[in-house]
Amino acid sequence: MSSSRPQFSRRDLLRAAGATLAVPTFLKSSFAEAASAPPTLVLLMQTNGTHQESFWPTATSSAATTGTWDSVILNKLLTNPALGPKATLIKGINYQAIKTPDGNQHDQGFHGLYSGFDSIPGPGGSYGGGISLDQRLIREANLSAAKLKNIHCGVHAVNYMAINAGRLSFSATGPGQQMPCELDLYALYDRVFGSGATGQDAAKVQLRLMQRKSVLDAVAGDLTALQKRLGPSERDKIDIHLTALRDFENRLGAGVGTGGPVVAGCTNVMPSKTGVPTGGQGNEANAETLERLFMEFIANTTACKMVGVLSFQFGRGGEHFHYNWLNIPGMPSDAHDYVAHLDSGDANIARINIEIKKWYTDVVSDLAGRLAAFPQGNGQTALDTSLVVWGNEQATGPHDQKNIPIILLGGASGRLKRTGYLVNAGAQVHQTLGTTILNIMGVPATGFGGLPNCGLINGLDLDLTA
């Protein structure tokens, strides 16, 4: 006769391990008991808008179950049976009119989407006009279950000088108080899963990976003993977490010591004294490798509940990537000036822009798919227990700021009562997004940023008691 098993918890893990076993922190966190804790939050920032006609699906409420949930740009995400039902599209989000003379819509959107404030002028460019959502949450949300409260990271693998220093990071602790964007993936990996090395120790991390020495090697014997004490379902869950981390280490170390693309992309990551990096993370030929490695890192970090709020930017504000790795026929030299800015009636430019935006869908789908593969107990996955917000600084390449493309991925630990549909309740100020996220994360709020009483997103089906 079979009997149901209770959810495997951190207490069970430590009891099985015993006081003498060195269980890795990321395994302890992945089995953490945190019924009242908010979901893990991931904020993604894309730049240069989208091709509106090819982005939004035509189906609405029953889309995920009727097979009509699709769009040209989002096809890979929405038609995936594991991901489409977990996606929620928010249409009608509009930025407020620009109120400051300095900067343009890139600056306003890059800083404003996740802060709710207009950008402000400062030395070297336009900066956020107030505290950003990630920094506010580490002060106000209950993130005690995570090893780290926050990581703000991104990819700056570009072949040009930044237009202004304000576009290097959208994270801010207050008006004009920019938080640096962490670029060194080796240092981040070791800080989360290893011994906690700083950026100055990145060379040691690279050497260890070159020698194929995993952070798991030091506790290999303890892990073997631990798995023998667990039931089949618990062993399976640990196997998935361990395999994912080992797999990531192998890819992260693939180019170490060989002059491969990852090393070339990660060795030159420190900004110059002026705050404007001259080389970023290296040549743009490394951009795709870095973007995908970061998605894998974010998935592992999120699934193991190591970070409470993780924010990531696909480049700098007003990005000028060339996207040579896509091999798009007729691709101009600069996707910002000659694709995004011209995407308003030219069919050939629209074709190129759509292919670029489809690539972002592929990258974000990779992140969501990895989260969907991590079990979390009670039949849930890491995609169910987290919230990924995929936003953009613009609505379109020509700087329109109405109908900002916003996608929510995941179930937010049940706080998104319904997923797999298009919210289309008319025009809404962009501050409603921040208000909604705050409440999902357990921080009561009636407004956000510069609009203290804007309310929640209309048309979104929430359960804030979950």
420-437 pLDDT per residue, tens: 999 999 999 999 999 999
Which is higher by pLDDT, 78 or 278? 78
Asked whether the predicted pLDDT for residue 102 surpasses 60, the reply is no
Beta strand pairing call for 120-122 and 421-429: unpaired
Closest by CA position to 56, among listed 87, 16, 90, 11: 90
pLDDT tens sequence across 178-225: 999 998 888 888 888 876 555 445 566 666 665 556 666 766 666 676
pLDDT at 35: 54
Q: Rounded mean pLDDT of the chain? A: 81
Name, in order, each residue with C-beta under 8 angstroms of 151's C-beta and a sequence gap of 6 or more.
Answer: 182, 188, 192, 301, 307, 310, 311
pTM of the entire predicted model? 0.86
Mean pLDDT (whole number) for 14-37: 59
Mean pLDDT (whole number) for 354-368: 98
- Say which range, 8-17, 74-83, 269-278, has the weakest mean pLDDT: 269-278
Domain with CATH 3.40.720.10 in the chain: 39-183+272-466
Please state at what angle helix 232-252 crosses helix 220-228, rounded to 10 degrees: 160
Mean pLDDT (whole number) for 359-364: 98
pLDDT at 206: 63
Asked whether the predicted pLDDT for residue 170 surpasses 60, the reply is yes
Which is higher by pLDDT, 249 or 292? 292
Name, in order, each residue with C-beta under 8 angstroms of 347's C-beta and a sequence gap of 6 or more.
Answer: none
Beta strand pairing call for 40-46 and 386-392: parallel
Query: What span, in angstroms and rounded, lies between the C-alpha atoms of 189 and 51?
Result: 34
SS (H, E, C) the chain: CCCCCCCCCHHHHHHHHCCCCCCCHHHHHHCCCCCCCCCEEEEEEECCCCCHHHHCCCCCCCHHHHCCCCCCCCHHHHCCCCCHHHEEEEEEEECCCCCCCCCCHHHHHHHHCCCCCCCEEECCEEECCCCCHHHHHHHHCCCCCCCEEEEEEECCCCCCCCCCHHHHCCCEEECCEECCCECCHHHHHHHHHCCCCCHHHHHHHHHHHHCCCCCCHHHHHHHHHHHHCCCHHHHHHHHHHHHHHHHHHHHHCCCCCCCCHHHHHHCCCCCCCCCCCCCCCCCHHHHHHHHHHHHHHHHHHHHCCCEEEEEEECCCCCCCCCCHHHCCCCCCCCCCCCCHHHCCCCHHHHHHHHHHHHHHHHHHHHHHHHHHCCEEECCEECCCCEEEEEEECCCCCCCCCECCCEEEECCHHHCECCCCEEEEEEEEECHHHHHHHHHHCCCCCCCECCECCCCCCCCCCECCCC
pLDDT tens sequence across 432-452: 999 999 999 999 999 999 999
> Which of 82-96, 150-164, 179-193, 239-253 shows the highest mean pLDDT?
82-96
Fold of 39-183+272-466: Alkaline Phosphatase, subunit A (3.40.720)
CA atoms within 13 A on the CB side of 251: 16
CB 290 within 8 A of CB 22: no
Q: For residue 239, name the pLDDT band (cuts at 50, 70, 90).
A: confident
Mean pLDDT (whole number) for 345-352: 92
Mean pLDDT (whole number) for 244-257: 69
Beta strand pairing call for 177-178 and 172-174: antiparallel
pLDDT tens sequence across 318-338: 998 999 999 999 999 889 999
SS (H, E, C) 309-340: EEEEECCCCCCCCCCHHHCCCCCCCCCCCCCH
pLDDT at 154: 94
CA 92 vs. chain centroid, Å, equals: 22
pLDDT tens sequence across 120-151: 988 888 999 999 999 999 999 998 877 789 99
Asked whether the predicted pLDDT for residue 44 surpasses 80, the reply is yes
